[in-house]
């Protein structure tokens, strides 16, 4: 088996653009669930709105990258308000069902053929990154990093994505330690206590939805920008479930948690996949074929999610006292 190749692929995943996109969305989820205690299972919708907002603004309106980014952020903020107003007063498990339903409804809507000339229907949209990649100051060519090589655009999206993660992590670090952040944590621990202090709990929850949703929409943009394709099938429930696994792996009420959680998660998945593919190719797993190895990836996500919630709900970095599932 090619151990070197497996390790190279694993290392590539640590800093991959998709990993960065998931990390951003998981950071948004950390604001929702980790700091405010909202069981949001529709995070895919926020990411999808960022991605569709950006690509539709670029392709249909012909806007430059910065207005497209703003439009994407605006779309997901608007969705946070529309979704939040009816649902944030509901009990936690209702919120979970409604958010997952809203995300699925949105996915059905963007893949519907009646909106095909705007959203591209089930094929989605592609080639909307020209104005973004025009910013790329890196000269054209292949850049060799010892274990793997990247083109100038692949390098650029990685630099932008991880810089964005650092910026947002610093922003969240100060935000969660601000008076505003303390109110959020108060809501997570005991809503009624915060309410009795005269705080408008609903308004804080809505603000948390908007902040976390906007961060997730940036993640969505990074996700589609790396391949310049945006397909509705990306934004299914599996996307959200993977985010939850990443978040709970790292630690929900931490900022480093989603970042390290995302890197470990994708690194581990890629490592296991390459090892299993190696074993299949060597004929050691006769009951599997290569296509099924990809399916086992998701099976492992499920197993990881179950084991984490049962045995280590606070994740790698979390403090057990800081994780209340409110139920």
Partner 1 sequence: MSQLNIRAGRKAGVFLGVLAMLFAILSAGAPAKAADDPSTYAYTIAGTLLNNEKPLVGVNVTAQLDAFKASAKSDDSGAWTIMVPKAGIYNVSIDKSTLPAGVSFTKADGDKLQADLTQTDFAAVLFSFGKSTVVAENFGDQLIVRVWAGLNFGLLLAMAAIGISLIFGTTGLNNFAHGEMVTTGALFVWFFHIVVNLNILVSAVIAILLTTVFGWVQDAGLWKPLRKRRMGLNQMMIVSIGFSIVARYILLLFFGGDTKDIGGGGNIIKLGPIFTSDIALISLVICVLSLAGVALFLTRTRLGKATRAVSDNPSLAAATGIDVERIIRIVWIVASALTGLAGVLYGLQFQATWLTGFDILLLLFASVTLGGLGTALGATVGALIIGMIVEVSSLFIANELKYAAALVILIVILIVRPQGVLGKKQRIG
Scanning the chain, the segments in alpha helix (DSSP H) are 3-14, 17-29, 43-59, 65-87, 92-111, 116-119, 130-133, 152-177, 179-189, 191-196, 201-227, 237-250, 256-281, 290-311
Backbone angles phi, psi at 126, to 5 degrees: -150, 170
Should residue 114 be labelled a site residue for partner 1 when binding is judged by CB under 8 A?
Answer: yes
Return the bridge partners of 76, or none.
none
Q: How far are the Cα atoms of 78, 154, 239, 277 from residue 88, in angstroms, in the given order?
A: 15, 39, 22, 45
CA atoms of 30 and 36, how far apart (whole Å): 8
Binding mask 46-85 for partner 1 (x = CB under 8 A): -------------------------------------x--
Nearer to partner 1, 39 or 51 (CB): 39
The answer to whether residue 29 forms part of the interface with partner 1 (CB under 8 A) is: no
Q: Which of 143, 173, 284, 298 binds partner 1 (CB under 8 A)?
A: 298
In angstroms, the Cα distances linking 8 to 1, 11, 45, 111, 296 are: 13, 5, 32, 36, 21
Return the residue of 97, 169, 272, 316 that touches partner 1, per CB under 8 A.
97
Q: Which of 8, 67, 123, 227 touches partner 1 (CB under 8 A)?
A: 123
Binding test (CB under 8 A) with partner 1, winner from 94, 143, 145, 180: 94
Q: Which of 141, 306, 319, 320 binds partner 1 (CB under 8 A)?
A: 306
Structure tokens at 172: 């969240």
Q: What is residue 32's DSSP assignment?
A: I
Q: If binding means CB under 8 A, how many residues of this protein chain bind partner 1?
A: 51
CB of 299 to partner 1, least distance (A): 4
Give the residues lining the site for partner 1 (CB under 8 A).
39, 41, 83, 86-87, 89-94, 96-98, 100-102, 104-105, 108-109, 111-114, 123, 237-238, 241, 244-245, 248, 292, 295-296, 298-299, 301-307, 309-310, 313, 324-327
């Amino acid at each position: 088996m090619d151990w070197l190749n497996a390790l190279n692929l694993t290392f590539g995943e640590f800093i991959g653009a998709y990993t960065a996109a998931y990390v951003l969305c998981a950071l948004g989820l950390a604001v929702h669930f980790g700091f405010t205690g909202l069981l949001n299972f529709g995070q895919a919708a926020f990411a999808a709105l960022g991605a569709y907002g950006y690509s539709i603004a670029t392709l249909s309106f012909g806007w430059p990258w910065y207005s497209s980014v703003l439009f994407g952020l605006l779309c997901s903020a608007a969705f946070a308000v529309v979704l939040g107003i009816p649902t944030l007063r509901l009990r936690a498990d209702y919120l979970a069902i409604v958010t997952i339903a809203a995300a699925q409804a949105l996915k059905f809507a963007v893949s519907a053929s009646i909106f095909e000339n705007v959203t591209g229907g089930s094929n989605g949209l592609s080639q909307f990154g020209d104005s973004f990649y025009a910013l790329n100051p890196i000269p054209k060519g292949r850049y060799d990093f010892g274990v793997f090589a990247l083109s100038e655009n692949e390098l650029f999206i990685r630099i932008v994505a991880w810089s964005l993660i650092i910026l947002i992590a610093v922003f969240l670090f100060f935000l969660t330690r601000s008076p505003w952040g303390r109110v959020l944590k108060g809501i997570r621990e005991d809503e009624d206590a915060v309410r009795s202090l005269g705080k408008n709990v609903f308004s804080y929850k809505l603000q948390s939805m908007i902040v976390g949703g906007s961060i997730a929409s940036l993640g969505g943009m990074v996700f589609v920008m790396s391949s310049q394709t945006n397909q509705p099938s990306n934004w299914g429930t599996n996307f959200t479930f993977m985010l939850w696994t990443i978040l709970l792996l790292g630690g929900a009420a931490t900022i480093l948690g989603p970042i390290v959680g995302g890197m470990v998660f994708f690194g581990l998945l890629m490592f296991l996949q390459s090892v299993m593919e190696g074993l299949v190719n060597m004929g050691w797993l006769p009951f599997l074929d290569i296509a099924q190895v990809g399916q086992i990836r998701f099976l492992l996500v499920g197993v990881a999610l179950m084991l984490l919630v049962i045995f280590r709900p606070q994740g790698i970095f979390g403090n057990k006292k800081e994780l209340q599932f409110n139920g």
